[in-house]
A = this chain, B = another copy of it.
Amino acid sequence: MIVVMSREATQDQAERVDALLREKGVRPVFGATEGATVLIAEESGTRELASAVQAAGGVDRVVLVPGALRLTSRHYSPQNTRVAVGGPGGVIIGGKEFAVIAGPCAVENQQQMTTVVDAVVAGGAVMLRGGAFKPRTSPYSFQGLGVAGLALLAEQRSRTGLPVVTEVVTPEDVERVAEESDMLQIGTRNMQNFGLLREAGRSGRPVLLKRGMSATVEEWLLAAEYLMHMGNGDVVLCERGIRSYERSTRFTLDLSAVAEAKRLTHLPVVVDPSHSTGRPHLVGPMSLAAAACGADGLLIDVHTDAAAALCDGAQALDGDRFAALVDQLKPVVEAVGRSLVQPRTPYLTQV
């Protein structure tokens, strides 16, 4: 059950609604959305209670939402959400256009970044990815360049005018990463790092939320609820493969989850065919499949010198294979009634 207060409602009115609900045994959580205060209850709620609350002062509307989802549910918001990343000349994810995001797994140095970025832009990427903070299984593995990596990424952003997405791994870094990038990525290992989700929800930046590697679709969408009830509606979901017994791929890409998430929620969904399969030769077919089944975009690892990559080079495409993939992607995207995001910055059109 969601109670949306009117924008002019006072704090006092919101507290009276809270008290009214608690009286009926419902314990709502305060949140915010579209500039208004909302009270959200785990319970679906009843029509009787909804009528009673509607009559209280300052209430804009009461929405009964079945199931466990609330703000992420299509019952709450039937229209597809369009998430704008970057300012003017930026990218809209979740509209009619399909967005290809690409870049290296990890930011390594200026030369690598320039080379890879030029290759992905030439190939057709309209947004950049690259990790400065890398969550690694072993503390003795390369952990990313950290703050220095952020600067290298920001440099490419200003050089090209393209928006960038980069991972943030701990709540205290959120503010800084938000300043130096256009979109925060929450990685698979942090999908239920609730402190990090809350902080990202407060950041004012769009968030790319990867599915946990053993998260159900419902758990994934409830993680998005953590972001949304902090007032951040700019959430893009990212399917990146789940753990299964199958060993010919690194993870099992679950495209049914893309279609299921698109059905249950109004949020955009993109797919990461690189980390999921862990095999360059599967990135192409899985990208086409993702586009065909309704995904709103792709997140692809590209490395122009995979053998020397400090992280996950084995699964990256080189520039040529990436460009060839975008060429193959175009007719498939069109076959499902969409088009690729068109270049908007001067840099893109001149490449």
User: Once bound together, how far apart are the Cα atoms of A85 and B293, in whole Å?
Assistant: 29
A80 to chain B, nearest CB (A): 15
Jot down 29 A-B pairs with beta carbons below 8 A, ordered by A: A42-B138, A42-B140, A42-B141, A68-B138, A136-B194, A138-B222, A171-B195, A189-B193, A193-B193, A213-B214, A214-B245, A217-B248, A218-B248, A242-B246, A242-B252, A243-B245, A244-B245, A244-B252, A249-B260, A253-B256, A256-B277, A256-B282, A256-B286, A260-B279, A262-B285, A288-B292, A291-B292, A331-B334, A334-B335
A175 at the interface (CB under 8 A from B): no
Q: Closest residue to A170 on the B side, CB-wise?
A: B195
**Contact status A246-B225, CB under 8 Å:** no
**Interface bracket on A:** 35 or more
A50 close to chain B: CB less than 8 A: no
How distant is the Cα of A135 from the Cα of B195 in the complex, in angstroms? 9
Interface: A52 (CB within 8 A): no
Complex interface: chain B residues within 8 A of A328 (CB) = 336
Interface residues of A (CB under 8 A from B): 27-29, 31, 40-42, 68, 70, 135-142, 169-172, 189-190, 192-196, 213-214, 216-219, 222, 225-226, 229, 242-249, 252-260, 262-263, 276-277, 279, 281-282, 285-286, 288-294, 328, 331-332, 334-336
Measured CA separation A335–B242 after assembly (Å): 28
- Which of A42, A137, A256 has its CB near the most chain B CB atoms (within 10 A)? A256
B residues near A256, Cβ cutoff 8 Å: 248-249, 252-253, 276-277, 282, 285-286
Quote the shortest CB–CB distance from A148 to chain B (angstroms). Answer: 16
Nearest chain B residue, comparing its CB with the CB of A29: B140
Q: Contact between B195 and A192 (Cβ–Cβ < 8 Å)?
A: no
How far is B243's CA from A193's CA once the two chains are assembled, in angstroms? 18
B residues in contact with A137, CB < 8 Å: 192, 218-219, 222
Pairwise interchain contact B225-A140, C-beta atoms closer than 8 A: yes
Task: Determine the distance from Cα of A9 to Cα of B287 in the docked complex, in whole angstroms.
Answer: 48
Residue of B with least CB distance to A173: B195
In the complex, what distance in Å separates the CA atom of A196 from the CA atom of B171?
10
Docked Cα-Cα span, A218 to B252, in Å, equals 15
Cα–Cα distance between A242 and B293 once the two chains are bound (Å): 19
Given the contacts A29-B139, A225-B138, A253-B255, A216 and B248 also touching, CB distance less than 8 Å: yes
Q: Would you list the 10 A-B pairs with minimal beta carbon distance, nearest first?
A: A214-B214, A170-B195, A292-B292, A259-B285, A331-B335, A42-B140, A289-B293, A289-B289, A243-B245, A285-B293
